[in-house]
Amino acid sequence: MAESLINSIARLRVIEKRLLTKEFVSRLVQAPTYEDALKLAREAGFGAAYAGGSGDELEGLVSAHLDETYSLVGELMPERLAFVTGLFRMRHDLTNIKLLYKLRLLGSDPSAAELAPGGVFSGDELKTAVKKGDYSILPRPLADTLEELDVKTYKNPDARLVSGALDSAYIGLGLASGNAFAREYFGALADFTNLIAAVRGMLPDMLLPCGEYKKDALIAVASLIKDSPESVPALLKTPFDESPLKAAAREGFEEYLKTGSAVSLEKARDEYLIGLAARGKSDIDSPAPIVGFMLAREREAEVVRLVLTVKRSGLPVSVIEERSVMLYG
């Protein structure tokens, strides 16, 4: 780990020049075949450490790309701030914990589950924790939530209780982190998640800790969407105005009203969060540039996997265009 944040960010200025560009993604999308797209990714240095093998080459490249990312971030982030990158990486652990816990509720063996990469904890650690019901390796808010779920699901093994409870605990962890960038990021994530839940009629049971939007406003939006959608455009300015987050949310809602699909809000969320990360990259006294770089590299992995998977499946390019492929910066 580095000792000086300023020195790390100076080094990062050089490293981030290797981030993939929007022009590269456009070339990748327009590549005639899967093999052509795969070649372009390799030539751009994506997953350069991948040495080949008997497994799927695309997943091998993605895995190598992410391994390099986490290694670089570990070198750049001073030890006193390592908890910040750990907090953001923990969302991958959360995905894995949800899967393992739900498998346990369904009576399935979680030991053979395929887990997502990138988390703080190893797959074996998480499998053992969930299987034994011993969550002591996890941060206290997550461990407490899982222990509460153990009680609630003992007689009522309802898997629907799991995701909302764990998401709420994780968002709370971010908001209580003491780091300004993390608090802003997790607050925005909570707001967009709550708005998407409102559109899908999942409030108030799935409400996360609130950021800029309070519970009453979210429930009012859910009611309008359900009972009087034609009145929503005129009233959106009341709950959604002033801040950049609310402007982004309003634009996402306006697109939702045209399409009827919550994907519009999901894209607005992704673009806003990427923008938050990019906005902090000029800071020299904050871990935000290093976290932003990590999120950018993870985003690259998502975009390359999406494009190449569509190419390999023979699906039309429109499938890619329907999804947000916005990159950092």
Nearest to 121 by CA among 147, 96, 149, 93: 93
What's the mean pLDDT in 221-243? 69
pLDDT of residue 207: 81
Model confidence at 324, pLDDT cuts 50, 70, 90, reads: low
Per the structure block, which two tokens stand in for 136? 């002591």
Q: What letters, b where the CB count within 10 A reaches 16 and e where it falls short, cover 259-284?
A: eeebbbbbbbbbebbbbbbbebbeee
The string of pLDDT tens digits covering residues 284-319 is 788 999 999 999 999 999 999 999 999 999 888 777
- Spatial contact of 257 and 228, defined as CB atoms under 8 Å apart: no
What's the mean pLDDT in 211-224? 82
Cα–Cα distance between 281 and 155 in angstroms, integer? Answer: 49
Model confidence at 148, pLDDT cuts 50, 70, 90, reads: very high
Model confidence at 236, pLDDT cuts 50, 70, 90, reads: low
Residue with tokens 């391994």: 67
pLDDT of residue 156: 86
Angle at Cα 231 formed by Cα 228 and Cα 236, nearest 5°? 115
> Of 1-10, 129-138, 179-188, 219-228, which range is least confident?
219-228
What's the mean pLDDT in 247-253? 86
Cα–Cα distance between 151 and 130 in angstroms, integer? Answer: 14
At position 262, the amino acid (one-letter code) is: A
Cα–Cα distance between 295 and 185 in angstroms, integer? Answer: 12
Residues in the chain, overall count: 329
pLDDT of residue 321: 66
Cα–Cα distance between 134 and 254 in angstroms, integer? Answer: 45
The string of pLDDT tens digits covering residues 21-59 is 889 988 999 999 999 999 999 999 999 998 877 778 999
The string of pLDDT tens digits covering residues 67-120 is 999 999 999 999 999 999 999 999 999 999 999 999 999 888 888 899 988 999
Give the list of residues 6+ apart from residue 268 with CB closer than 8 angstroms, or none.
192, 248, 249, 251, 252, 255
Cα–Cα distance between 72 and 293 in angstroms, integer? Answer: 10
Which burial class, exposed, middle or buried, applies to 245 when counting CB atoms under 10 A from its CB (0-12, 13-18, 19+)?
buried
- The more confidently predicted of residues 77 and 240 is 77
What does pTM read for this prediction? Answer: 0.87
Nearest to 4 by CA among 297, 290, 309, 326: 290
Cα 202 versus chain centre, distance: 20
Cα 44 versus chain centre, distance: 24
What's the mean pLDDT in 234-254? 75
Nearest to 166 by CA among 142, 189, 187, 183: 142
Per the structure block, which two tokens stand in for 198? 């409102």
Model confidence at 238, pLDDT cuts 50, 70, 90, reads: low
Angle at Cα 329 formed by Cα 170 and Cα 70, nearest 5°? 50
